[in-house]
Amino acid sequence: MSEVFVMDAPETVAAPRVSEWKRFLKILFQRKLVVFGVFVLLCLVLVAIFAPLIAQYDPYKNDMAHSLQSPSSQHWLGTDNLGRDVFSRLVYGARTALEVGFGTVAFAAILGVILGLLAGFLGGWTNAIIMRAMDTLMAFPMIVLALLLVAVLGAGIQNVIIALGVATVPGYTRLMCGTTLSVRENEYILAQRAIGAKSLRTMVRHVLPNAIQPVIVLVTTMLGNVILAEASLSFLGIGIKPPGAAWGSMASAGFRDLGTHPLLSFAPALAIMLVVFAFNMVGDGLRDALDPKLRGKL
């Protein structure tokens, strides 16, 4: 049966094919600050992986004979009050930062995406329960909630990850719920019902992939925010316990010598800022590159 009745010429040409990926990269790297951010993050990851090769000294070994030295060719950034090489500690601190960052974000993002998807797609009571729970967690400032949890769980890298994870879940849940709700409004979701697809299939195959994009942007910026929060907890002495090399605790330890040896606290603090800044830049770049308003426009 068929073709005979189609008198209009078949449409063989679609719009000229532009690689999605190419366009994405083009928009992403349009801004110089994004290039800078990606560069910083690449360096950070490399430093964290090859920390033992880069650091010339044991970051944990005290050497009281050489404490509080100014920068020199042996100690590029000097030594701290216990005589430990600041540069080596900074290098190992990158590991801690990334570990906490990725650990927390993975935990919170996965949980948040699932909860948000369920709340948004199922609506009704599921939505009410999940979203009120999230409102509750959102009522606490992130640091205060983390303090509460650390007070109970005790310090240490795992507990910091759990505490910050719980504190950041609402962000992902709310975002995911919001995008799910708007994706659900689309006719293609209705179309799935019309052709007889079951809810679970629709939710996983059609809602999730279309709703997840903003979460990717959030994940990027949250990596920065979480590293910043971990630094704040470590700064207060309740995050990563000494002698663990965490930038926050280094900054805090250097504080008492701020007047005489400002580099002790400035160096780790600047490292934190650089990394957080880089994650924010890349996050913003991603948002522009993924922006549905720009997509499909041409």
With CA atoms as reference, report the closest residue to 146 among 131, 161, 126.
161
Give the whole-angstrom CA distance, residue 98 versus residue 23. Answer: 29
CB of 159 to other proteins, least distance (A): 10
Q: Which pair of tokens denotes residue 212?
A: 């997840």
Nearest to 286 by CA among 222, 223, 227, 216: 216
Q: Minimum distance from CB of 191 to other proteins (Å)?
A: 5
For 97-108, give one letter per residue: b (16+ CB within 10 A) or e: bbbbbebbbebb
From the list 46-54, 68-76, 91-99, 194-202, the region that binds other proteins by CB under 8 A is 194-202
Residue 166's nearest CA partner among 132, 182, 143, 192 is 143
Residue 32 within binding range of other proteins, rule CB under 8 A: no
**Both tokens of residue 28?**
């992403």
| Least distance in angstroms from the C-beta of 235 to other proteins | 5
**Contact with other proteins (CB under 8 A) among 60, 102, 107, 140:** 140
Query: Does 68 engage in binding with other proteins (CB under 8 A)?
Result: no
Least gap, CB of 138 to other proteins (angstroms): 8
Question: For other proteins, which is the closer residue by CB, 137 or 181?
Answer: 137
Question: Residue count at the site for other proteins (CB under 8 A)?
Answer: 83
Could you say whether residue 237 binds other proteins (CB under 8 A)?
yes
Is residue 65 close enough to count as binding other proteins by CB under 8 A? Answer: no
Q: Exactly one of 2, 22, 65, 125 binds other proteins (CB under 8 A); which one? A: 2
Of 132, 114, 120, nearest to 179 by C-alpha is 120
Residue from 149, 203, 223, 253 touching other proteins (CB under 8 A): that is 149
Q: Considering the complex, what minimum distance in angstroms separates the CB of residue 93 from other proteins?
A: 13
145 belongs to the binding site for other proteins (CB under 8 A): yes
Residue 86 contacts residue 263 (beta carbons within 8 Å): yes
Residue with tokens 């993050």: 41
